Amino acid sequence: MRVRSQHLGLGFLRFDYKQGRIINESPPQSVIGSVIHLYLRRFPCRGSLLSGFIIKKGFCDVFDGDWVFDDSYPLYNSSKCPFAERGFNCLANGRKDSGYLKLRWKPRHCDLPKFSPHNVLESVRGKRVVFVGDSMSRTQWESLICMLMSGVGDPGNVYEVNGSEITKTVRFLGVRFERYNLSVEFFRSVFLVRQGSPPKHGPRRVRAILELDKVDEISSKWVDSDILVFNSGHWWTRSKLFHVGRHFQAGGRLKLGMPINAAFRMALHTWASWVEKIVDTNRTQVFFRTYEPSHWSGSNGKGCNVSKQPSFEDKSEFGKILNDVVTNMRVPVTLLNVTSMGLFRSDAHIGTWNYPSPDLDCSHWCLPGVPDAWNELLFSYLFTNGWRQLGR
């Protein structure tokens, strides 16, 4: 039976706490223009930046679209997925409304195929899917596993390879789908470059360093994967760097005056060089997911912005830096431009429905939710473009 969708139009969705429902608001034209300019530009490149898919009728920009109501969603139940963290399960943590679960990403000029866990499981049989990055990457990893679990007939044959609890404190998590000889793995590497101890005779304020010219020491474990998805960005802030005594180093020398944006660019160049030298892109399809927007508000950043449009301060610069680096890579890397689609979903953050801490969270996403759409885009691309390049 065909599901009829209610088109919500281009706007910012917010959750109205008094009315208990999602409200669609039209954003200012200046905001729309900024989003399109910063994140939907097409760049001539040697790398492979994804602005859209090649479909039968031609090119489709899958990141130019809207969130539409679809009663067939969500794609899974987090409470029935043993690999979904309780902290991301907003319904289990007391959220009463469920409208945010019924929204599907719809490109403006084409349709994404419905995610079929059976088809995806068969397509990745015998493969290794690896996510590398911060907690946003872990959320996408959990999302994909839960999406695939909905198509598994024997969940007892799906397990975490080390028996580890799904938690942010573990650097490696790997789930094995035994029947399909499939591994879906996550490696925690929030900066993608190496972290180290401060130099012996360095300033007292330097408690740790980021070696911007050296890729993370666990990078050898990322190779020999079939699908490799990176992200970084949320930890490149003063509060997670300088305020805790973490400073930059390159060439064995401290770079105390280096701006964060310049350090981010150098780290990405280090990552790009590693991909070019180490990763066999004839086997491995490499992706980099863009910065995921948060919706913090207030002068102290301790409130959730559910009624106003988000700021573009650091996000826009990070997006430009990432575009610049990937554009000049000598091997194909596909950029997943998820930033703009997240800007419209202030309703989908964890907010006050957190666990075990009751702290407000305006960065991470509820599951099911927005990260599911990232995986739908990822596999839609692979089905229409990517695997043809890999000889499938």
Torsions phi, psi of 187, nearest 5? -120, 125
Helical spans, DSSP H, in 192-293: 260-278
* Distance, CA of 342 to CA of 159 (rounded, Å): 31
220 is catalytic: no
361 is catalytic: yes
DSSP 128-173: EEEEEESHHHHHHHHHHHHHHHTT-S-GGGEEETT-----TT-SEE
Q: How far is CA 322 from CA 99, 226, 317, 387, in A?
A: 34, 22, 9, 24
Residue among 64, 66, 78, 135 flagged as catalytic: 135
299 is catalytic: no
Q: In what order do the strands lie in the sheet with 285-289?
A: 48-50, 333-336, 285-289, 227-230, 128-133, 182-188, 172-177, 158-160
Residue among 64, 189, 364, 380 flagged as catalytic: 364
3-state secondary structure of 4: coil
Closest residue by Cα to residue 362 from 290, 301, 309, 299? 301
* Distance, CA of 101 to CA of 80 (rounded, Å): 15
Residue among 70, 347, 361, 372 flagged as catalytic: 361
Tracing tokens 């963290």 back to the chain, one arrives at 85
Is residue 226 within 8 A of residue 284, CB to CB? The reply is yes
Active-site residues, by number, are 135, 361, 364
